[in-house]
A = this chain, B = another copy of it.
């Protein structure tokens, strides 16, 4: 039964107190930067801390204080660009605010119970708040009891329950993309959707349908895919087989690479024969052939906002005002007016 490796006796407050000739309480005060300590005393304590290499023991501190300053993040274990980019933002804010981040991942297409397991692992670990970087609805039975005791932030805009928050407006993305194609003069817009397991897939599809209807056009059938370039390629073959398809809204850049490949193989040129607009603006979007017109999601800002929000909730303070996060249409070379 190993204790901490080699750490026979990390110095404790008692050691520091003794070395500095003060009580542990004074050490505690100095460490936590309280003001009511004579400068001279503080200096002695700090010297002893330095000398002994003392560092607070997080477990002991949180047992005594009831606070852990741990943020939990639930992620789906696929190496998706969006996920890691959002995480960068979360980490940044957490560190700034003195929180640490622990992650619990669930398999792609995981069941509800896997999510609850992950949630419970984080709670057991002491997470004071949880960010759900994963497709999940607050409406799910079983979720309510959890978000009641632990502040939770979703990354999806949905009808929420008590204390729920969300950050990204997926609907605006789909609208931007679809209206861009329409405004170019295309009669209708086809849609290659992401995996329906993910909420944003559904939201984007619904908005796309709605925008078309608003413009008086009957939505064509959705071409389902699953976020992977492979699935985009298959969808592209489907589209290539539709002679009068001239515009496609693809739910992610990665899929757009596949779509374009399939189109080109079928002898249909992008954007001359078919316009393609996608979503994300990953680093490679500008280096596709042709460069992708896409709706940029400011992932890092999203992560920062989520972290700020959850910390506000934990500390029960007024929500920090954040710049509204707007998706942005980046027009490059994959879209054009119909021939």
Q: Report if A4 contacts B (CB, 8 A).
A: yes
State the copy count for this chain: 2
Residues of chain B within 8 A (CB-CB) of A88 are: 77-79, 105
Residues of chain B within 8 A (CB-CB) of A148 are: 6
Interface contact B315-A2, CB-CB below 8 Å: yes
Residues of chain B within 8 A (CB-CB) of A104 are: 91, 95, 100
A107 → chain B closest CB, angstroms: 9
Interface contact B92-A84, CB-CB below 8 Å: no
Interface contact A92-B63, CB-CB below 8 Å: no
Interface string of A268-310 (1 = CB under 8 A from B): 0000000000000001101111000000000100000000000
A229 → chain B closest CB, angstroms: 5
CB contact between A63 and one of B59, B68, B77, B257 (< 8 Å): that residue: B59
Interface string of A50-86 (1 = CB under 8 A from B): 0000011111101100111010000001111101110
Interface contact B84-A3, CB-CB below 8 Å: no
Please give the number of chain A residues whose Cβ is less than 8 angstroms from any Cβ of chain B in the complex.
70
Interface contact A102-B102, CB-CB below 8 Å: yes
Q: Report if A264 contacts B (CB, 8 A).
A: yes
Give Cα A87–Cα B133 distance, bound, in whole angstroms. Answer: 15
Query: Which among A6, A79, A288 has the greatest number of chain B C-beta atoms within 10 A?
Result: A79
Interface contact A5-B289, CB-CB below 8 Å: no
Closest B-chain residue to A255, C-beta based?
Answer: B287
A10 → chain B closest CB, angstroms: 8
Some 29 contacts from A to B, beta carbons below 8 A apart, are A2-B67, A2-B314, A3-B66, A4-B67, A4-B128, A5-B128, A5-B151, A5-B314, A5-B316, A6-B149, A7-B149, A55-B120, A57-B63, A59-B59, A59-B126, A77-B92, A78-B88, A84-B87, A95-B104, A95-B105, A100-B125, A101-B103, A102-B102, A102-B103, A103-B103, A228-B283, A229-B284, A254-B283, A258-B287
Q: Which A residues form the contact surface with B (CB < 8 A)?
A: 1-7, 55-60, 62-63, 66-68, 70, 77-81, 83-85, 87-88, 91-92, 95, 100-105, 120-121, 123-126, 128-129, 148-151, 228-229, 232-233, 254, 257-258, 261, 264, 283-284, 286-289, 299, 313-316
